[in-house]
Amino acid sequence: MDKYILALDQGTTSSRAIVFDQQGTIQSVAQKEFQQLFPKPGWVEHDPNEIWASQAGVAAEAIAKIGINGKYLAGIGITNQRETTIVWDRETSQPVYNAIVWQDRRTSSYCDELKAQGLSETIKQKTGLFIDAYFSASKIKWILDNVTGARAKAEQGRLAFGTVDTWLVWKLTNGKVHVTDVTNASRTMLYNIHTLSWDKELLKIFTIPESMLPEVRSCSEVYGETGTTIFASKVPIAGMAGDQQAALFGQACFEPGMIKNTYGTGCFIVANIGTKPVVTKDLLTTIAWKVNSEVTYAVEGSIFIGGAIIQWLRDGLELFTSSAQVEKIAQRVEDSGGVYLVPALSGLGAPHWDPYARGLIIGLTRGTTKAHISRAALDAITFDVKSITDCILDEAGISFRELRVDGGASVNNMLMQLQADVMDRIVVRPKITETTALGAAYLAGLAVGYWSDLAEIQKYWKEDKRFTPGANKEKQQKQFRTWKRAVERAKNWANEEE
Ligand SMILES: Nc1ncnc2c1ncn2[C@@H]1O[C@H](COP(=O)(O)OP(=O)(O)O)[C@@H](O)[C@H]1O
Ligand SMILES: O=P(O)(O)OC[C@H](O)CO
């Protein structure tokens, strides 16, 4: 019987497990949503034990569906929602607090203090990141400062920190292995992307004991073996990368200048910039992957609300009952009828980095219908993405020909056409849009000799549909300029005095 690779894709709203064969074809999928906890406005948490239980459950289900067990797995690749922060007791493996999710804004005012101390430039130069509550460092500090006894225990070396990749490896190996990979490390705001090490000055600033941190490894190597409970035999864990970097890998964007966008809850536009970490004004510089001891860097534009704005029209405004309906409804009108939407529901990420911005719908008249609002929401997603690709062009000097797309909302053909129009660039959707899981599978497979090299992987990338800029492009570009005025009005809203 042939062997397979299992990818564990631990996302913000669900845990997924996908079995791939040697052609990179999906053989089996299992998925489970888990609880989103919102204890206070702006706070977002997950239960780490539920993350683990759901991930372990879907792993078992995915292999059972095709009647195999661990003996038929050549390796496991892990990919994960990034930045989300878990701190646990090394002895008991029990988390000391819930996972603080990347979307959580509780540390915004602490981040303002760091900015006021003039640390922005130092942190940007060392980590490639903007000071923002998005990243792990301020979340770890919050746990140490707010959970009774946590700081003392951490100082005694009794607590471990991990992003979700680290937590899953810890659980899969029964607490034997405490590692992360360079991509996840590069999102903590504690990792120096030039020296490729935890940065002592940053650890001091955030008052985090180094003993809590995992060992940082490459994205493609054997980190350890699983226990035998789920898989009935030991399986090498051999690949690891944050989900957006894994998607870049799964999209086979191996050459500098290649670029992808994932249209999920948020939108994450990531461009391969080669082996030198260029620090730009408005984008993040991050590690794309480390394979065979070579580090590849990327610039990234992170948009916090992407497909989630469609979810909000569905669940918050109840304009329709399934996200897919937005396309038909928006098609009822020729354009948004002068309505503009700024999806700043959790502040604005790149290129504005304004945690106090809030969502806005402007240009309403008595003639406005839900079709106009639906269209304005689709436009807004493409405008946000265009803001980032403009920065990638202007600041990183990347004049890409085509944008490779994936993620849940990339199935929306109208959205993809609008994207091509406003950017005046080709948009290409591959046959397999589960690129995040595929990237993790490739990384694991390369480490265990299941695939030979990048050239082989490149061959498995197949185009599904291509969207070419059309007749509408001037109109969309004009509306993009108007939309930018709306963005200015949404900025700093939650911070303004009465
Ligand atoms: N046809 C569609 N048109 C627009 N948005 C969609 C469509 N289908 C799904 N979405 C949006 O895509 C998102 C789900 O994408 P997915 O990649 O599964 O997200 P994640 O991995 O971030 O949980 C949801 O926010 C949903 O509203
Ligand atoms: O879980 P996703 O796909 O929404 O991705 C989350 C990102 O990794 C956050 O940086």
Tell me the best of 81, 104, 168, 249 to mutate to test the pocket of ligand 2, counting ligand atoms within 8 Å of each CB and taking the most: 81
Q: Which residue do the tokens 């098609």 mark?
A: 331
Atom of ligand 1 nearest to the CA of 314: 27
Report the alpha-carbon distance of residue 341 to residue 472 in Å, rounded.
Answer: 19
Strand, coil or helix: what is 10?
A: strand
11 lines ligand 2 (CB under 6 A): yes
CA R_g for the chain: 22
**318 annotated to bind ligand:** no
Q: What does pTM read for this prediction?
A: 0.93
φ, ψ for residue 462 (rounded to 5)? -130, 135
Pocket of ligand 1 (CB under 6 A): 11-13, 264-265, 307-308, 310-311, 323-324, 326-327, 407-409, 411-412, 415
At residue 154's C-alpha, the angle toward residues 151 and 159, to 5°, is 130
Supply 493's token pair: 């809203």
Tell me, using a 6 A CB cutoff, whether residue 95 lines ligand 2.
Answer: no
ipTM of the complex: 0.96
Q: In this structure, which residue's CA is closest to atom 9 in ligand 2?
A: 82
Q: Which helix (H) or strand (E) holds 50?
A: helix 48-65
Our mutation pick for probing the ligand 2 site, out of 82, 300, 434, counting the most ligand atoms within 8 A of Cβ, is: 82
Closest ligand to C-alpha of residue 247 is 2
The string over 94-132, giving b where at least 16 C-beta atoms fall within 10 Å of a residue's C-beta and e elsewhere, is: ebbbbbbbbbbbbbbebbeebeeeebeebbbebbbbbbb
For ligand 2, mutation pick of 163, 265, 283 (most atoms within 8 Å of CB): 265
Angle separating helix axes 48-65 and 164-172, nearest 10 degrees: 60
Per-residue pLDDT tens, the chain, 498 aa: give them. 689 999 999 999 899 999 999 999 999 999 999 999 999 988 999 999 999 999 999 999 999 999 998 899 999 999 999 999 999 999 999 999 999 999 898 999 999 999 999 999 999 999 999 999 999 999 999 999 999 999 999 999 999 999 999 999 999 999 999 999 999 999 999 999 999 999 999 999 999 999 999 999 999 999 999 987 888 899 999 999 999 999 999 999 999 999 999 999 899 999 999 999 988 888 999 999 999 999 999 999 999 999 999 999 999 999 999 999 999 999 999 999 999 999 999 889 889 989 889 999 999 999 999 999 999 999 999 999 999 999 999 888 888 889 999 999 999 999 999 999 999 999 999 999 899 999 999 999 999 999 999 999 999 999 999 999 998 999 999 999 999 999 999 999 988 765
- The ligand that comes nearest to the alpha carbon of residue 286 is 2
77 touches 128 (CB < 8 A): no
